[in-house]
Structure 1
Amino acid sequence: MQDDLSPPVRQSDVLDPARAQAMQMALGQAATLQAGDALPPFFHQLYFWSPVPASELGRDGHPKVGGLIPDMGLPRRMWAGGRLRFEQPLRLGAEATRVSVCEAATRKDGRTGPLAFVTLRHELWQGDVLCLTEWQDLVYRSDPDPNAPHPAPPVAATDEDKAEAVHFDATLLFRYSALTFNGHRIHYDQPYAREVEGYDGLVVHGPLLAQHLMLMAQRSLGPLTEFTFRATAPLMHHEAATLCRKGRDMWVRGPDGRQCMVARA
């Protein structure tokens, strides 16, 4: 096993129930979570903020690379997917510690130009108990060529056993960005998203899609032990989508039938 590419970064945070309740309300749920309750899957994204001065932000609103995430020389960042292994419940109202390392960083040429792939590993502890391990896969790309054709997105399956409609708007994207302290401008700055990064509107967060799928999986299958997801095409804030499940396989289908995310619980 190769060594990690960065020294561990440790952060501690109290898992405030008020923040989890705000997330419930943003997702259209009743605010029921209290101190001592188990944190719902993926709600740990609400904690362990890493604020930096504006002078230390990149043009996209994220902190500049070069620390935990190496500078791969490419400006556009996307959360491409991830894997989570749930060991023990994280409990609201108690302190938790996140230990983060850069596990891998590679660069190669893709169909649309150079790509860089970065994998971060996060371990979340309460006391001396490892509660959760998360692998976060990031992709960095060059700026889009306005004259280049858009690659065709994959087509989503239509043989699901369970389907749920889900809707997004600019307000939800702003609230999710605020709750997760995600400054990426593609989620709230429409001129930037269109004119700089070449999207058709505000981009729905990949983790927000994964959040919906995890909650759907938990409702259907019970407590999760592992969850993997991979983003395959962007979804815009003005588009409705369908959450789909067939057994333990899950996916997000856009309004035109394209596959936006695949996952397995």
Structure 2
Amino acid sequence: MDLANDDTHMTQDQACATRVDSLDPARISALAAALGVPDDRARPFWHQIYFWDARPATSLGLDGHPKIGALIPDMGLPRRMWAGGRLHFHAPPTPGQAAQKSTTLLRADRKHGRTGALGLVTLQHEISQDGKLLVSEQQDLIYRAADARSGTPPEAATDETASKTHRFTTTELFRYSALTFNGHRIHYDRDYALNVEGYDGLVVHGPLLAQYLMLMAEDLLGSLSKFDFRATAPLMDHQSVTFCAKPSEDGLMLWARADDGRQCMSATATS
């Protein structure tokens, strides 16, 4: 198994981590099978299945994620959510060759919002191979208190010009967790999701929703150079979702609409 080499370092004024991975082509094939796409080429967001943060069980928190306190400071807020991101795709990877991921902590702020205390974290990722930049990404994370209240989700638009409805199975959630080495228990441990974090089902991964929107955008535009997304409400495994798109001035507007009309994610894409 080609586990990533971990070379993590911190300086006084910024936190930085670097990982190296051999980009095993079998993982791209496995992702294609999990997503039901017809070929094994690297799709947008391919880097999610590489550069694993594989730690021993003693280094994990109650939620199954690696404990915070090194790259991301501990703000006393245990519930973690992937809130969104901004991606630029510069060049495709060459599978089977080593690539490097460098991560820098851009911000970590503790604030008080309408639903209680929030920790707002932004990470900057840069993926390169043979000295060439492949992907640059800013990833937004939100940390909340254990008893945080849920906000009111926005209603999704219904004026799409293209759409596709999907229902995630527990098998698909498991396979995506395995491919991304994501141990967050809200995606596979129903008792934990319901009784500890207060969800009403297993939670569909935010990046998995974004992946499906990227696939739709790629099908409509032919290629992607930029993709921005924001998670606005969680989607449960017992709900179906409709991925929607319509043309915009620069490319596409996209969103994910749950079967009760909630908007779970919004996005923009540029070719």
Whether the TM-score (by the shorter chain) exceeds 0.5 is yes
TM-score tier after normalising by the smaller chain length: over 0.9
2:46 is aligned with 1:46: no
Q: Match for residue 181 of structure 1?
A: 181
Instruction: Work out which of the residue numbers 92, 97, 116 in structure 2 matches 1:94.
Output: 97
1:5, CA displacement in angstroms? 5.5
Q: Match for residue 171 of structure 2?
A: 171
Alpha-carbon distance in 1 for matches of 2:18, 2:75: 23
Q: Match for residue 6 of structure 1?
A: 14
CA RMSD of aligned residues (A): 1.5
The 5 A counterparts of 1:16-165 are 16-30=24-38, 32-33=39-40, 39-144=42-147, 150-165=150-165
Alpha-carbon distance in 2 for matches of 1:14, 1:217: 28
One-letter identity of the residue aligned with 1:90: P
What's the TM-score once normalised by structure 1's chain length? 0.93
Alpha-carbon distance in 1 for matches of 2:124, 2:82: 14
One-letter identity of the residue aligned with 1:49: W
CA contact (8 A) 1:228 1:263 kept: yes
One-letter identity of the residue aligned with 1:56: S
Q: Match for residue 249 of structure 1?
A: 253
**Any stretches of 5+ residues in structure 2 without a counterpart?**
1-10
Give the count of matched residue pairs: 255
One-letter identity of the residue aligned with 1:130: L
CA contact (8 A) 1:86 1:131 kept: yes
Alpha-carbon distance in 2 for matches of 1:4, 1:110: 29
1:93, CA displacement in angstroms? 1.8
1:188, CA displacement in angstroms? 0.3
Alpha-carbon distance in 2 for matches of 1:117, 1:91: 34
**Any stretches of 5+ residues in structure 1 without a counterpart?**
none
Q: Which moved more, 1:225-234 or 1:21-30?
A: 21-30
Alpha-carbon distance in 1 for matches of 2:17, 2:120: 20
One-letter identity of the residue aligned with 2:30: A
One-letter identity of the residue aligned with 1:242: T
Q: Determine which structure has greater relative contact order: mean sequence separation of CA pairs < 8 Å that are 6+ residues apart, divided by chain length.
A: 1
Alpha-carbon distance in 2 for matches of 1:208, 1:67: 26
- C-alpha offsets along residues 70-106 of structure 1, whole Å, 9 cap, x if unaligned? 1111000000000101111112222110011111111
Residues 1:238 and 1:160: Cα distance change in structure 2 (over 3 Å) = same
Structure with more of its chain in strand, by fraction: 2
One-letter identity of the residue aligned with 1:241: V
Alpha-carbon distance in 2 for matches of 1:122, 1:4: 19
Identity of aligned residues (%): 56
CA contact (8 A) 1:5 1:102 kept: no
